[in-house]
Amino acid sequence: MKYIDSHCHINDEHLLMDSEAVINSAKEVGVTSLIVIGWDLDSSIKAVELANAHQGVYAAIGFHPENLDEVSEEAILKIEELAKTEKKVVAIGEIGLDYHWFKEESHRNKQKEWFIRQINLANKLSLPVSIHARDASNDTYEILKAHPVKKGAVLHCYSGSVEMMKRFDGLDLYFGFDGPITFKNAVEPKECVKACRLERLLSETDSPYLAPTPFRGKTNKPEYIPHIVKQMAELRGQGEEEVAKAIAENYERLFSVEP
């Protein structure tokens, strides 16, 4: 079985020192392809470096809505340059809206501005997008409706409602699920995994965050992906192999990367 981690942060300080071992352990359990996701310029550069150093590792680059302190037009042009010159950059991300941590209107407006700016960048470069949307489903939907992504997008760590998922599905998006679908008290993410179209499902860890049960609270790693896929299969009443195969196909279709 081929496993995919479509969203991880091996470029995070908790994993970067051991990146070699982290990637090798993931490969040992069958994770054949993974995308290291940036959240600002430095972490995006690190993501590219990791991708270039390892077969089966790719990079997504961009500014996360929680990390806009150093964003500027100049920084975005550096992201553009990186995407143009580095072959292993397969997406712009993670970008989006976070209203959980940011309540002020001014910051939310700033988030919207740079979200749109980076959607435009992805469209210019013909790249898909990895989206972070937390407590911001409606505005995310409105922005994507007004600024369609040309090469597709995934709503990573999807945490909205089933109803909202159906609206996003109308925009032809993909949905990434991770650790929370294994948590006992997480009702909605489980319902979303059940309701998601098989051809729009993606597996991810978001490591080092959100480790799945039975590792909850510990440092998450891409090698835990089989626990996510197993849970997806159980929730959907499908075979693990069928689910893993569909995820690999979805991954290839969205990111133009061989699983």
Q: Is 40 in the site for Ni ion (CB under 5 A)?
A: no
Q: CB of 241: closest distance to Ni ion in angstroms? A: 27
Residue number with CB closer to Ni ion (42 or 199): 42
Q: How would you list the strands of the sheet with 3-8, edge to edge?
A: 3-8, 31-37, 57-61, 89-98, 129-134, 153-155, 174-177, 201-203
**Region near Ni ion per CB under 5 A, out of 55-63, 74-82, 97-105, 202-210:** 202-210
**Region near Ni ion per CB under 5 A, out of 14-22, 116-124, 203-211, 235-243:** 203-211
| Amino acid, res. 243 | V
Q: Is 206 in the site for Ni ion (CB under 5 A)?
A: yes
Q: CB of 179: closest distance to Ni ion in angstroms? A: 12
User: Which of 3, 57, 51 has its CA nearest to residue 29?
Assistant: 3
**Region near Ni ion per CB under 5 A, out of 48-56, 72-80, 175-183, 206-214:** 206-214
Q: CB of 64: closest distance to Ni ion in angstroms? A: 7
β pairing state of 201-203 and 174-177: parallel
Q: CB of 191: closest distance to Ni ion in angstroms? A: 22
Residue number with CB closer to Ni ion (98 or 206): 206
Residue number with CB closer to Ni ion (27 or 64): 64
> Torsion angle, CA of 101/105/109/115, rounded to 10 degrees?
20
Q: CB of 206: closest distance to Ni ion in angstroms? A: 5
User: Which of 17, 90, 93, 27 has its CA nearest to residue 59?
Assistant: 90
Q: CB of 182: closest distance to Ni ion in angstroms? A: 17
User: Which of 124, 90, 98, 127 has its CA nearest to residue 7?
Assistant: 90
Residue number with CB closer to Ni ion (215 or 245): 215
**Region near Ni ion per CB under 5 A, out of 22-30, 109-117, 164-172, 199-207:** 199-207
The token pair that represents 63 in the structure block: 């500014």
**Residue count at the site for Ni ion (CB under 5 A)?**
1
User: Which of 42, 251, 222 has its CA nearest to residue 152?
Assistant: 251
Q: CB of 13: closest distance to Ni ion in angstroms? A: 14
Residue number with CB closer to Ni ion (135 or 234): 135
Look at residue 104 and give its three-state secondary structure: coil
Q: Which residue is nearest to Ni ion (CB)?
A: 206
Residue number with CB closer to Ni ion (5 or 206): 206
Residue number with CB closer to Ni ion (34 or 77): 34
Q: Which residues contact 241 (CB under 8 A, 6 or more apart)?
A: 1
Helices (H), the chain: 13-16, 19-28, 41-53, 73-85, 105-125, 137-146, 162-169, 187-195, 225-236, 240-255
User: Which of 7, 16, 14 has its CA nearest to residue 46?
Assistant: 16
Give the footprint of Ni ion on this chain (CB under 5 A): 206
